[in-house]
Amino acid sequence: MTETGTYLYAVGRHLDDEVLSGLEGVGGAAVRTLGHRDLIAVVSTVELDDFGESALRRNLENLDWVEITARRHDEVVRRAAAITTALAPFRLVTIYRSDDAVRDRIETLYDDLVLALDRVDRRSEWSVKVFSRARSMPPAPVAADAASGVAYLERRRAEIRGRQEAAVDQQSLADQLFWDLVPAAAASRRLAPQDQRLTARREAMALNVTFLVDDDRCTEFFERVDELRRNYPSFDIEVNGPWPPYSFAVLDKP
Amino acid sequence: MTAETVAVATEPSLVDLLDRLLGKGVVLSGDVVISLAEVDLVRVQLSAVIQSVRKELSPHD
């Protein structure tokens, strides 16, 4: 018989088993819920042939597997988030040996889980990415003796210096934009700007931030973003969400 | 002003998803902590995954 484990998606309050059961989990088994004290864990059974330690090492090197698993995980978490105000999603591929091991874990983490759930209750995560619009540098004034090598080098140096200063200016301007948006959110977390090859955009990403926003202050948040779009015309601001509070309910404790 | 007028309501990109599901910026972080069983922590290198994400999404390279 194949060995199995219990895959943990999220822990929340007031999760209705009926809505979630029947949903397909990672690896194909049905999603279930496990109660412990006043908390409910969203789980499904996985085969250790696919989700055991050595299998994971192999599978995590396979982008197709990672994508399918991440999207299924996200789907289950979103469905759960849709029926409760307080949900703490767990990281991708958090797997325990048994249902009892999940309950033990919840017992150990109980106080932290309650804090995390209080923190995200009635709040959602919104992604804000800020791109520097590609700006062409104004051409340097052409001196009368522009044809001379010295003048050319001078001009080149000035151009390079100008570009470096512009980049520094853009970054501090982006930081300023970030701080302008902070008061409209309950919490924020800066992520690493994504590589230009990953975003497939011509403009460099100056900011990759994620905000935790009160559900009843969303309009205020968006209005603030629109205001910043007007105040910072050199930036393109992209807002994406709502996300389940992935970045704000993660428990980093082992 | 409503959420729909501001937010992009498309399927999230894999990079955005991994940025969040792995708990750290995927471009920066080299590995992810996987909890197996009660206490075992397994660190798995994700560099290969990131490499292939790049390859997949990059027009040239």
Mean pLDDT of successive 10-residue stretches along chain B, which has 61 residues: 46 81 46 36 43 48 39
- Using CA coordinates, name the residue in chain B closest to A208: B25
Q: Record the tokens describing residue A11, joined without a space.
A: 């822990």
Single pTM value for the model: 0.79
pLDDT over 70 at A59, yes or no? yes
Distances (CA, A) of A30 to A76, A96, A153: 11, 16, 68
- Residues of chain A with Cβ-Cβ distance to B20 below 8 Å are 125, 210, 243, 246-247
Predicted confidence at residue A215, as pLDDT, reads 94
pLDDT over 60 at A174, yes or no? yes
pLDDT: is A15 or B14 the higher one? A15
- Residues of chain B with Cβ-Cβ distance to A242 below 8 Å are 3, 7
- Give the residue carrying structure tokens 């895959």: A7
pLDDT over 90 at A235, yes or no? yes
The alpha carbon of B22 is separated from its chain's Cα centroid by a whole number of angstroms, namely 6
Domain ranges of chain A: 4-121, 124-243
Predicted confidence at residue A151, as pLDDT, reads 81
- Using CA coordinates, name the residue in chain B closest to A108: B38
For A72-114, the pLDDT digits (tens) are 999 999 999 999 999 998 888 888 888 998 998 899 889 989 9
pLDDT over 90 at A244, yes or no? yes
Q: Is A108 helix (H, G, I), strand (E, B) or coil?
A: helix
**Fold of the domain spanning A124-243:** Alpha-Beta Plaits (3.30.70)
- Using CA coordinates, name the residue in chain B closest to A6: B37
pLDDT band at residue A160 using 50, 70 and 90 as cut-offs:
confident
Predicted confidence at residue A159, as pLDDT, reads 84
Predicted confidence at residue B45, as pLDDT, reads 42
**Rounded distance, CA B6 to CA A50, Å?**
40
Q: How far is B6 from chain A (nearest CA, A)?
A: 7
CA dihedral A130, A134, A138, A142 (to 10 degrees): 140
Buried b (16+ CB within 10 A) or exposed e, A113-135: bbebbebbbebbbbbbbbbbeee
pLDDT band at residue A10 using 50, 70 and 90 as cut-offs:
very high
| Cβ-defined contact of A95 to B15 (cutoff 8 Å) | no
| Cβ-defined contact of A91 to B48 (cutoff 8 Å) | no
Helix (H) or strand (E) holding A107: helix A99-120
Predicted confidence at residue B57, as pLDDT, reads 47
Q: Which of B1, B15, B35 lies nearest to residue A226, judging by beta carbons?
A: B1
Mutate which of A46, A87, A91 to disrupt the B interface (most B C-beta within 10 Å)? A91
pLDDT: is A148 or B10 the higher one? A148
Predicted confidence at residue A232, as pLDDT, reads 94
CB A30 within 8 A of CB A37: no
Of A86, A33, A52, A117, the residue nearest B42 (C-alpha): A52
- Residues of chain B with Cβ-Cβ distance to A250 below 8 Å are 23
pLDDT: is A172 or A2 the higher one? A172
The alpha carbon of A155 is separated from its chain's Cα centroid by a whole number of angstroms, namely 43
| Cβ-defined contact of A247 to B20 (cutoff 8 Å) | yes
Predicted confidence at residue A146, as pLDDT, reads 56
- Using CA coordinates, name the residue in chain A closest to B26: A192
Interface confidence (ipTM) of the complex: 0.78
| Cβ-defined contact of B17 to A74 (cutoff 8 Å) | yes
Please list, in sequence order, all residues whose beta carbon lies within 8 angstroms of the beta carbon of residue A96, skipping any fewer than 6 positions away.
A5, A6, A8, A102, A105, B35, B36, B37, B38
**Rounded distance, CA A86 to CA A41, Å?**
12
| Cβ-defined contact of A63 to B38 (cutoff 8 Å) | no
Q: How far is B54 from chain A (nearest CA, A)?
A: 6
Angle at A227 between CA A224 and CA A233, to 5 degrees: 135
pLDDT band at residue A243 using 50, 70 and 90 as cut-offs:
very high
Looking at the DSSP bridge assignments, the partners of residue A73 are none
